[in-house]
């Protein structure tokens, strides 16, 4: 068994933790090995074994040949204390420590004022399957978890936001929700980016938050479904966050169906997971994306998964643009400029011009957030600019609606439009993001068919 790499910084936000073990220490699965130095959460070993290296980035553990099924339990305490102790961070995105999201330090005044726990079960990134599979296998635990969180955060209501296309899973939830009036479900259309935090708030509560506002401004906490399960495990089983559900998909031997691996030890390498899925497709591949096709980043075979990792997508081989001039349209939904430039380089293109979506507001930390996620502000001006700048191709990372707008004028101008997710979408067998033929509104009645058009028609 390969060495396990436990990163000291497990999420995208926060500060690296400090290791409390040293080289040569014997550790057990579930043992606390690093503690926060600022914004962060505890890190526990996902395996039993021996610490073989501690450096600024990670603790490397050589697993014992025989791994226990059990783990070192966290100590009992209040539900909130156990969530904190278990080192739970958000598993849908940046990895924000969960206990900070639901607790403000005030015993008498919870973060919400009779507000909402919004469970993000949108599994928004195309091609991923592990969130829905987890709910499908055990919907009851999710509901228990929502109640735990409602109690801690001071919410009166829980809402599970899930895409309407997951009919079977929704039916299972509905069967349980019949007897649980405090929790309801909200059905989402199958478009990107329904899982954006503020999009979830807007869809569920009808409140459009400014880009710099947190869901708390709408009296809500948004929490990813897998994170809820981790909380349940911490509270009921005293289990630290050491295992992850991971979707592996794409150019994998044997087909492009999703491989969902349950309870993968955090720190497992990309290579190990690809191997478990069956290895690379012999036709070759372009890159491995850690995370979703929109917001994930290219990774390497030796990289470890973290608590915040949800997927590994293996893309089709890169196309060769033979140095053609490429325009980059940066928005908040897809990759940042650095990621887009990396893709253009991989495609052997030349970056000729960069435009920004009008709604992609730059935040103080340099990231961008969309003013109205999923609702396009118009893109023809950018296309004119690309054309003027002499671009032959443009690469976009836009949401479903904006991609549709880009397509309304780009090709007519002679711009060849590529979406940053194309090679991943081809690899997983998902329609490319081009035109939009489905409604952005869905009926909350599961039996009402919303529209008949189909995104598949477009290539």
Partner 1 sequence: MSITAETAKQHANDPAVLCCRAEAGTELTPANFEDPAIFPDLVDSGLLNLDGALTIGQVLNGSKLTKTVDSLTPVTADIVDKFDAAEGGADEAPAAEEAAAPAVAAPAAAVAAPAVGGVINLHIGEGKDINIQIPAGIGGGAVAAAPGAAVAAVPAAAGAAPAAAEETGEAVVVREMTRKHYKIDKVVLGDETKIEGTTLYVRKEAATEGADAQKLVHSLELDVITPDDYHVYSETVMDIQPIATKEGDDELGEGVTRVLDGVVMMVTGITEEGVQVGEFGSSEGYIDENMMWGRPGAVDKGEIIIRAHAVIDNKKNMERPGPIAIHTAVDHVTQEIRNAMKKQLDDSQVVDTQVMKQVRRPGKKKIVIVKEIMGQGAMHDNFLFPTEPVGVLGAKPNVDLGNVPVAANPLEVMDGCIHALTCIGPASKEMSRHYWREPLVYEAIHDDDVDLVGVIFVGSPQANTDKFYVSRRLGQMVESMNVDGAFVTTEGFGNNHVDFTSHIEQIGKRGVPVVGFSFCAVQGALVTGNKYCDAMIDNNKSMSGIENEVLACNTLCHEDAIRGLAMLKAKMAGESIKAPERNYTHSVKENNVDLIEKAYGTKMELVDNEQALPMSEKRKAKYD
Q: Coil, strand or helix: which one is 287?
A: coil
Q: Which of 255, 278, 279, 390 binds partner 1 (CB under 8 A)?
A: 390
62 binds partner 1 (CB under 8 A): no
Nearest approach in angstroms of CB 385 to partner 1 is 9
Where b means 16+ CB within 10 Å and e means fewer, 416-437 reads ebbbbbbbbbbbbebbbbbbbb
CB closer to partner 1, 236 vs 450: 450
Q: In Å, how far are 47, 48, 63, 147, 181 from 1, measured between CA atoms?
A: 11, 12, 7, 39, 47
Q: How far is the CB of 441 from partner 1 (least distance, A)?
A: 7
Site string for partner 1, 134-173 (x = CB under 8 A): ----------------------------------------
Number of H helices, E strands in the chain: 12, 22
d(CA 104, CA 111): 6
Q: Which token pair is 385?
A: 């600019």
C-beta of 441 vs 447, nearer to partner 1: 441
- CA dihedral sign, ordered 349, 350, 356, 360: positive
Q: Which is nearer to partner 1, 211 or 378 (CB)?
A: 378
Q: Which of 164, 244, 387, 434 binds partner 1 (CB under 8 A)?
A: 387
With CB under 8 A as the contact rule, the residue among 441, 447, 452, 459 that binds partner 1 is 441
Question: Are 335 and 365 contacting, i.e. CB atoms less than 8 angstroms apart?
Answer: no
Which of the stretches 45-53, 84-92, 128-136, 387-395 binds partner 1 when contact is defined by CB under 8 A? 387-395
Measured from the CB atom, the residue of 63 and 410 that comes closer to partner 1 is 410
Nearest-angstrom CA–CA distance, 315 and 293? 9
Neighbours of 114 (CB within 10 A): 10
Q: Which of 94, 298, 351, 413 binds partner 1 (CB under 8 A)?
A: 413
Task: Give every strand in the sheet of 49-54, ordered side by side.
Answer: 4-7, 58-63, 49-54, 26-27
Stretch that binds partner 1, among 102-110, 272-280, 335-343, 375-383 (CB under 8 A): 375-383
The CA-based angle 135-115-10, given to 5 degrees, is 55
Asked if 324 touches partner 1 (CB under 8 A), the answer is: no
Reference 400, options 360, 435, 439; nearest CA is 435
Residue in 224, 409, 421, 455 binding partner 1, rule: CB under 8 A: 409
Tokens 């569920």 found at: 204
What is the sign, positive or negative, of the torsion defined by CA atoms of 2, 252, 249, 357?
Answer: positive
If the CB atoms of residues 5 and 455 are measured against partner 1, the closer one turns out to be 455
- Shortest Cβ 378–partner 1 spacing (Å): 3
* Cα–Cα distance list, 412 to 17, 348, 376, 408 (Å): 52, 24, 19, 8
- Each residue 345-374 as x (binds partner 1 by CB under 8 A) or -, in order, gives -------------x----------------
Residue of the chain from 20, 380, 446, 458 that contacts partner 1 (CB under 8 A): 380
Taking the complex as a whole, how short is the minimal distance between the CB of residue 442 and partner 1, in angstroms?
12
Q: Does 405 bind partner 1 (CB under 8 A)?
A: yes
SS3 135: helix
C-alpha–C-alpha distance, residues 407 and 388, integer Å: 17
Measured from the CB atom, the residue of 98 and 403 that comes closer to partner 1 is: 403
Which of 133, 216, 379, 455 touches partner 1 (CB under 8 A)?
379
Q: Which is nearer to partner 1, 166 or 387 (CB)?
A: 387
Residues in 177-236 at the binding interface with partner 1, rule: CB under 8 A: none
Spell out the alpha helix ranges (H) of 33-166: 79-85, 98-102, 130-137, 139-153
Q: Which is nearer to partner 1, 226 or 401 (CB)?
A: 401
Residues 75-104, interacting with partner 1 (CB under 8 A): none
Binds partner 1 by CB under 8 A, chosen from 37, 55, 263, 439: 439
Out of 85, 125, 341, 401, the residue judged to bind partner 1 by CB under 8 A: 401
Interaction site with partner 1 (CB under 8 A): 358, 375-381, 384, 387-390, 401-402, 404-405, 408-409, 412-414, 435-436, 439-441
């Amino acid at each position: 068994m390969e060495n396990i790499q436990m990163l000291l910084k497990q999420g995208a936000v926060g500060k690296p933790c400090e290791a409390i073990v040293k080289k040569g220490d014997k550790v057990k699965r579930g043992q606390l090995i690093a503690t926060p130095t600022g914004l962060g959460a505890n890190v526990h070993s996902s395996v039993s074994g021996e610490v073989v290296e501690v450096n600024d980035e990670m603790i490397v553990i050589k697993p014992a040949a025989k791994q226990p099924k059990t783990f070192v339990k966290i100590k009992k305490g209040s539900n909130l204390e156990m969530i904190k102790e278990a080192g739970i961070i958000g598993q849908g995105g940046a990895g924000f420590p969960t206990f900070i999201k639901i607790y403000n330090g005030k015993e008498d005044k919870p973060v919400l004022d009779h507000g909402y726990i919004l469970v993000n079960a949108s599994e928004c990134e195309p091609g991923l399957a592990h969130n829905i599979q987890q709910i499908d296998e055990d919907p009851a635990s999710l509901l228990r978890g929502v109640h735990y969180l409602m109690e801690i955060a001071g919410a009166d209501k829980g809402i599970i936001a899930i895409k309407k296309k997951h009919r079977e899973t929704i039916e299972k939830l509905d069967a349980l929700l019949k007897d649980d009036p405090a929790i309801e479900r909200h059905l989402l259309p199958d478009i990107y980016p329904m899982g954006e935090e503020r999009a979830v708030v807007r869809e569920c509560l009808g409140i459009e938050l400014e880009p710099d506002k947190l869901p708390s401004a709408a009296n809500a906490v948004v929490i990813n479904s897998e994170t809820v399960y981790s909380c349940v495990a911490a509270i009921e089983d005293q289990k630290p966050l050491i295992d992850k559900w991971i979707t592996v998909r794409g150019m994998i031997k044997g087909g492009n169906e999703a491989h969902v691996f349950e309870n993968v030890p955090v720190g497992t390498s990309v290579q190990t997971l690809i191997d478990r899925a069956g290895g690379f497709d012999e036709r070759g591949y372009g890159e491995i994306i850690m995370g979703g096709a929109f917001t994930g980043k290219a990774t390497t075979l030796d990289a470890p998964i973290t608590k915040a990792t949800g997927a590994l997508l293996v893309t089709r081989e890169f196309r060769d643009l033979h140095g053609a001039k490429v325009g980059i349209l940066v928005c908040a939904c897809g990759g940042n400029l650095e990621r887009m430039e990396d893709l253009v380089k991989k495609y052997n293109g030349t970056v000729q011009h960069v435009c920004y979506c009008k709604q992609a507001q730059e935040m103080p930390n340099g990231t961008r957030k969309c003013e109205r996620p999923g609702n396009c502000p118009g893109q023809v001006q950018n296309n004119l600019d690309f054309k003027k700048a002499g671009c032959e191709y443009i690469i976009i990372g836009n949401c479903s609606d904006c991609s549709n707008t880009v397509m309304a004028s780009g090709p007519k101008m002679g711009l060849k439009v590529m979406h940053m997710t194309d090679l991943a979408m081809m690899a997983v067998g998902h329609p490319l993001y081009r035109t939009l033929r489905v409604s952005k509104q869905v009926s909350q009645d599961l039996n009402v068919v919303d529209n008949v058009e189909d995104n598949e028609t477009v290539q």
